Amino acid sequence: MQEAAETLLDELTEAYVVGRREGKEPIGPEPDAEIAPTIRLIPRTPAAGPLSIALTEFPGVVLRLGRWFYEPLPECGCDDCDEDPEELVIELRRLVVAHVEGGLWERVRRGLTRSWLETRLIGPGLKISRRAPIDPAEARAARREGFAAPVRWAPWPRRPQRTDLP
Protein backbone atom coordinates (compact mmCIF):
# COMPACT_ATOMS: atom_id res chain seq x y z
CA MET A 1 0.00 0.00 0.00
CA GLN A 2 2.76 2.44 0.91
CA GLU A 3 4.66 1.80 -2.31
CA ALA A 4 1.50 2.46 -4.36
CA ALA A 5 0.89 5.67 -2.39
CA GLU A 6 4.43 6.91 -3.02
CA THR A 7 4.07 6.11 -6.74
CA LEU A 8 0.80 8.08 -6.82
CA LEU A 9 2.46 11.05 -5.10
CA ASP A 10 5.27 10.98 -7.69
CA GLU A 11 2.70 10.93 -10.51
CA LEU A 12 0.83 13.88 -8.99
CA THR A 13 4.06 15.86 -8.54
CA GLU A 14 4.88 15.25 -12.21
CA ALA A 15 1.41 16.13 -13.55
CA TYR A 16 0.38 19.10 -11.39
CA VAL A 17 1.89 22.41 -10.29
CA VAL A 18 2.46 21.58 -6.63
CA GLY A 19 5.04 21.98 -3.92
CA ARG A 20 6.15 18.80 -2.17
CA ARG A 21 7.10 18.67 1.51
CA GLU A 22 8.26 15.65 3.43
CA GLY A 23 8.43 15.46 7.20
CA LYS A 24 6.87 13.86 10.25
CA GLU A 25 3.36 14.89 11.28
CA PRO A 26 0.54 13.60 13.48
CA ILE A 27 -1.63 11.21 11.49
CA GLY A 28 -4.87 12.24 13.17
CA PRO A 29 -6.55 15.27 14.68
CA GLU A 30 -6.22 13.99 18.26
CA PRO A 31 -3.59 15.71 20.45
CA ASP A 32 -1.87 12.36 21.17
CA ALA A 33 -1.98 11.08 17.56
CA GLU A 34 0.86 8.92 16.29
CA ILE A 35 3.64 10.78 14.45
CA ALA A 36 4.48 9.30 11.04
CA PRO A 37 6.50 10.15 7.93
CA THR A 38 4.22 12.34 5.82
CA ILE A 39 4.38 13.62 2.26
CA ARG A 40 2.32 16.75 1.61
CA LEU A 41 1.46 18.16 -1.82
CA ILE A 42 0.41 21.81 -1.86
CA PRO A 43 -1.00 23.22 -5.11
CA ARG A 44 0.55 26.49 -6.26
CA THR A 45 -2.88 28.10 -6.35
CA PRO A 46 -4.43 28.91 -2.94
CA ALA A 47 -7.94 27.99 -4.12
CA ALA A 48 -6.91 24.33 -4.56
CA GLY A 49 -6.76 22.12 -1.47
CA PRO A 50 -3.68 20.34 -0.14
CA LEU A 51 -3.22 16.58 0.04
CA SER A 52 -1.05 14.57 2.40
CA ILE A 53 -0.29 10.91 2.88
CA ALA A 54 1.14 9.62 6.13
CA LEU A 55 2.99 6.30 6.01
CA THR A 56 1.92 4.41 9.14
CA GLU A 57 3.67 1.59 10.99
CA PHE A 58 0.88 -0.84 10.10
CA PRO A 59 1.99 -0.61 6.98
CA GLY A 60 -0.82 1.45 5.67
CA VAL A 61 -1.47 5.07 4.84
CA VAL A 62 -3.60 7.90 6.13
CA LEU A 63 -4.90 10.18 3.41
CA ARG A 64 -5.81 13.78 4.24
CA LEU A 65 -7.51 16.03 1.71
CA GLY A 66 -8.24 19.72 2.14
CA ARG A 67 -8.69 20.77 5.75
CA TRP A 68 -10.68 17.91 7.33
CA PHE A 69 -11.12 14.91 5.02
CA TYR A 70 -9.30 11.99 6.66
CA GLU A 71 -9.19 8.39 5.39
CA PRO A 72 -7.04 5.55 6.81
CA LEU A 73 -6.28 2.80 4.29
CA PRO A 74 -6.73 0.05 5.30
CA GLU A 75 -9.42 1.17 7.71
CA CYS A 76 -8.84 -1.63 10.18
CA GLY A 77 -6.01 -3.99 9.27
CA CYS A 78 -7.10 -6.96 11.34
CA ASP A 79 -7.11 -10.45 9.83
CA ASP A 80 -10.91 -10.72 10.13
CA CYS A 81 -11.48 -7.65 7.93
CA ASP A 82 -8.97 -8.90 5.35
CA GLU A 83 -9.10 -5.78 3.17
CA ASP A 84 -7.80 -6.43 -0.37
CA PRO A 85 -4.64 -4.37 -1.06
CA GLU A 86 -5.50 -3.97 -4.76
CA GLU A 87 -8.95 -2.61 -3.89
CA LEU A 88 -7.38 -0.22 -1.36
CA VAL A 89 -5.05 1.17 -4.05
CA ILE A 90 -8.03 1.67 -6.38
CA GLU A 91 -9.92 3.45 -3.58
CA LEU A 92 -6.92 5.66 -2.79
CA ARG A 93 -6.70 6.71 -6.44
CA ARG A 94 -10.46 7.38 -6.66
CA LEU A 95 -10.36 9.63 -3.58
CA VAL A 96 -7.32 11.53 -4.85
CA VAL A 97 -8.70 11.98 -8.37
CA ALA A 98 -11.97 13.37 -6.99
CA HIS A 99 -10.00 15.87 -4.91
CA VAL A 100 -7.56 17.06 -7.58
CA GLU A 101 -10.46 17.53 -10.00
CA GLY A 102 -12.19 19.91 -7.55
CA GLY A 103 -14.69 17.53 -5.93
CA LEU A 104 -14.06 18.38 -2.25
CA TRP A 105 -16.39 20.71 -0.33
CA GLU A 106 -15.89 21.63 3.33
CA ARG A 107 -17.64 23.90 5.82
CA VAL A 108 -18.36 24.60 9.50
CA ARG A 109 -21.95 24.77 10.74
CA ARG A 110 -23.19 26.10 14.03
CA GLY A 111 -25.55 23.88 15.98
CA LEU A 112 -27.59 24.70 19.07
CA THR A 113 -24.93 23.39 21.43
CA ARG A 114 -21.81 23.08 19.30
CA SER A 115 -20.34 23.44 15.84
CA TRP A 116 -19.96 20.73 13.21
CA LEU A 117 -17.62 20.26 10.30
CA GLU A 118 -19.03 18.92 7.08
CA THR A 119 -17.12 17.42 4.18
CA ARG A 120 -18.34 16.16 0.84
CA LEU A 121 -16.18 14.45 -1.77
CA ILE A 122 -17.70 13.86 -5.19
CA GLY A 123 -16.01 12.21 -8.16
CA PRO A 124 -16.56 9.53 -10.81
CA GLY A 125 -18.61 6.82 -9.07
CA LEU A 126 -17.96 8.45 -5.70
CA LYS A 127 -20.08 10.50 -3.30
CA ILE A 128 -18.99 10.73 0.34
CA SER A 129 -20.60 13.04 2.91
CA ARG A 130 -19.38 13.28 6.50
CA ARG A 131 -20.27 15.32 9.54
CA ALA A 132 -18.41 15.46 12.86
CA PRO A 133 -18.28 17.70 15.94
CA ILE A 134 -15.51 20.27 15.95
CA ASP A 135 -13.61 21.90 18.78
CA PRO A 136 -14.88 25.47 19.46
CA ALA A 137 -11.45 27.05 18.92
CA GLU A 138 -11.01 25.20 15.60
CA ALA A 139 -14.53 26.23 14.55
CA ARG A 140 -13.78 29.91 15.23
CA ALA A 141 -10.49 29.70 13.33
CA ALA A 142 -12.21 27.97 10.40
CA ARG A 143 -14.95 30.62 10.27
CA ARG A 144 -12.32 33.38 10.20
CA GLU A 145 -10.70 31.60 7.24
CA GLY A 146 -13.97 31.50 5.29
CA PHE A 147 -15.31 28.04 6.11
CA ALA A 148 -18.64 29.35 7.50
CA ALA A 149 -19.88 29.15 3.91
CA PRO A 150 -19.18 25.98 1.91
CA VAL A 151 -15.68 26.00 0.47
CA ARG A 152 -15.26 24.09 -2.75
CA TRP A 153 -11.59 23.45 -3.36
CA ALA A 154 -10.59 24.27 -6.93
CA PRO A 155 -9.12 21.72 -9.34
CA TRP A 156 -5.35 21.48 -9.21
CA PRO A 157 -3.45 23.34 -11.92
CA ARG A 158 -1.83 20.99 -14.44
CA ARG A 159 1.74 21.37 -15.59
CA PRO A 160 1.99 22.57 -19.19
CA GLN A 161 2.69 19.82 -21.69
CA ARG A 162 6.20 20.03 -23.13
CA THR A 163 6.04 20.28 -26.90
CA ASP A 164 9.71 21.09 -27.46
CA LEU A 165 10.95 17.57 -26.65
CA PRO A 166 12.37 15.52 -29.55
Provide CB contacts within 8 A for 116, sequence distance 6+: 108, 109, 131, 132, 133, 134
Cβ-based neighbour number of residue 125 at 10 Å: 6
pLDDT at 45 over 70: yes
87 and 9: one domain? yes
pTM: 0.91
Mean pLDDT of 33-42: 95
pLDDT score at 96: 98
Asked whether residue 156 is domain-assigned, the answer is: no
pLDDT score at 27: 87
58 and 140: one domain? no
Model confidence pLDDT, tens digit, residues 61-113: 999 999 999 999 998 766 666 788 899 999 999 999 999 999 999 999 998 89
Q: Which stretches of 12-165 are assigned E, i.e. beta strand? A: 18-26, 35-43, 51-55, 61-65, 69-73, 104-110, 115-123, 126-134, 151-152
Model confidence pLDDT, tens digit, residues 106-150: 999 998 899 999 999 999 999 999 999 999 999 999 999 999 999
Which residue range(s) make up the domain with 45?
2-100
